Amino acid sequence: MLRETLEMNIKRIIDFLIYSKNFLIRKNPIKSISNSITEGLKDFLTMKKKLKMAQYRLNYHRHQLQKMEQLIAENNEHNFLKGKNLNETR
């Protein structure tokens, strides 16, 4: 009776170790942790460059918007949109 219980517990422990080993082979947490650390470092080191690119895009789109607003104001008949050129058509 005691021997059977002991054998069954040892078998369960061995099965658990086999499942654990297969899980570690399949998921490989050490490799995933190293990959995430590497990606984090890359993001951290390229943050300044990404910020400059975002600022450039923002300034470019702001400039395009100002050009569009200026064209709309020039071609609009309402005087309050023209700013300095209030009486240009008179």
Domain count of the fold of the chain: 2
Return all residues near 76 (Cβ < 8 A) that are at least 6 apart: 82
The radius of gyration of the chain from alpha carbons, rounded to an integer in Å, stands at: 34
Both 67 and 36 in one domain: the answer is: no
C-alpha 24/C-alpha 18 separation (Å) is 10
Both 57 and 82 in one domain: the answer is: yes
- Whether residue 11 is predicted with pLDDT greater than 60 in this model: the reply is yes
C-alpha 20/C-alpha 22 separation (Å) is 5
pLDDT in tens, 27-47: 998 999 999 999 999 999 999
Both 27 and 59 in one domain: the answer is: no
pTM for this predicted structure: 0.49
- Whether residue 24 is predicted with pLDDT greater than 70 in this model: the reply is yes
Main-chain phi, psi angles of 57, to 5 degrees = -60, -40
pLDDT in tens, 47-83: 999 999 999 999 999 999 999 988 887 776 665 555 5
